[in-house]
Amino acid sequence: MRKEALFLPWPLDPGRDPARGLFLPGSNIVYDFHGDPCRAELIVVMEGNQFMVIPELLRAFQEALGRPVEVFYVTLPPPRFRPLVEGGELAVGNLVLSVRPQVVMGPPEFMSGLLEAGLITEPRTFVRNRGVVLVVQKGNPLGISGPEDLLRPEVRLAISNPETEVNSYRTYISALRHVPGLSQKIEREALKSRQIHHREIPALLYHGLADVAPLYYHFARYYQDPRFFAEPLFDYVEFPEGAAVKNEYQVALHREAAQNSLAQAFRDFLLTPRAREIYASYGFEG
C-alpha cells in the first residue's frame, strides 16, 4: 500500500458540531472513538464495521431505558481494541486510553478466544450481515459485472489486510475463491489496508488508487445512504457467492461488569426485535 495517508470526508456522528472540533488530516483526526470517556456510564467496544448503526441504536436503547445514557464506544477491528478488554491501554497518537469496557461485541472466533481467557461472559449472537459485494467506482466505469471481471489485467483491487484483519480478509476471500486464479491475483497485486479497512479501503477507492474492493453489503448500502452522504460515493455489484457468505455478530459482558445493570440492559436490548429492525435498516440481516 502507498505510504501517504489518504482521507475520505466521513460524516460525524449526529449531534457532533464540526466547528467545536479538530479536523486536521495528517495531524489530528479521530473517527472510531465516539463520545466522552470521562463522563461515560457505559463503555462498549465493538468490531468497527457496524459503526453506522450505533447512533440510532443508542437512541433507541435510551428510549427503551427511559433515560439518557452517556456512552463511550470504540469501533475498531477486534485485535486493535483487545488491549482494553485485557485491562491494558490503547494509544491514538499521543492520546492514551485506559478505559475498561463493560460490553464487548465481536465475531464468534474472537469472542471464543476472550471467553477461553476468562475475560467475558458467554457470547450471544444478536445479528448477522448480508454477505459480500463488489464496491466499485461511482458509475462503474470499468463495467465490472462480477468476480470474474476482477481477473482483467487493468482492474486494480483493494482488500483488508490478512494479518491485521484476519476475519474480514478470510470472509472476502471465501466469497471470491470460486474464481480460479483470483485469490492468487489478490495476494500478489491487491492494495491492502494497514489496520482499519472500513476507513482505508473506501479511501483508496475514493482517491482512484483502486477500482474495486470486496466489502460487506452494509458498507455498500452506507455509501449510498442519504442519511450520511448527499451524493452516493460508490456503486456496487452483487453476486450469488458473496450473498452466501454471512458472518455473525456477538455480544457479551466483560467479566468485571457481569453484574452491571446498565451493561446487562444494553446486552439484552441488542437481542430485541427493535434492535434487529434497526440493524436491518442499515443493510444487515434482521
Give residue 265's domain range: 31-128+249-281
Count H helices, E strands: the chain?
Answer: 10, 13
CA distance 59 to 72: 13
- Looking at the structure, tell me whether residues 136 and 120 fall in a common domain: no
Would you say residue 1 lies in a domain? Answer: no
- Looking at the structure, tell me whether residues 140 and 223 fall in a common domain: yes
Would you say residue 13 lies in a domain? Answer: no
CA distance 257 to 207: 43
User: For position 190, which CATH number holds?
Assistant: 3.40.190.10
Count: domains in the chain: 2
Would you say residue 223 lies in a domain? Answer: yes
- Looking at the structure, tell me whether residues 139 and 210 fall in a common domain: yes
Are the beta carbons of 138 and 232 closer than 8 angstroms?
yes
* CB atoms inside a 10 Å sphere around CB 2: 9
Please name the residues in contact with 156: beta carbons below 8 A apart, sequence gap of 6 or more: 189, 191, 209, 210, 211, 212
- Looking at the structure, tell me whether residues 227 and 145 fall in a common domain: yes
DSSP state of 258: T
Please name the residues in contact with 140: beta carbons below 8 A apart, sequence gap of 6 or more: 235, 237
- Looking at the structure, tell me whether residues 120 and 258 fall in a common domain: yes
Task: Provide φ and ψ at 194, rounded to 5°.
Answer: -95, -50
- Looking at the structure, tell me whether residues 63 and 205 fall in a common domain: no
> Per residue of the chain (286 residues), what is the pLDDT tens digit?
344 567 787 887 887 776 666 666 666 778 899 999 999 999 999 999 999 999 999 999 999 999 999 999 999 999 999 999 999 999 988 899 999 999 999 999 999 999 999 999 999 999 999 999 999 999 999 999 999 999 999 999 999 999 999 999 999 999 999 999 999 999 999 999 999 999 999 999 999 999 999 999 999 999 999 999 999 999 999 999 999 999 999 999 999 999 999 999 999 999 999 999 999 999 999 7
- Looking at the structure, tell me whether residues 145 and 222 fall in a common domain: yes
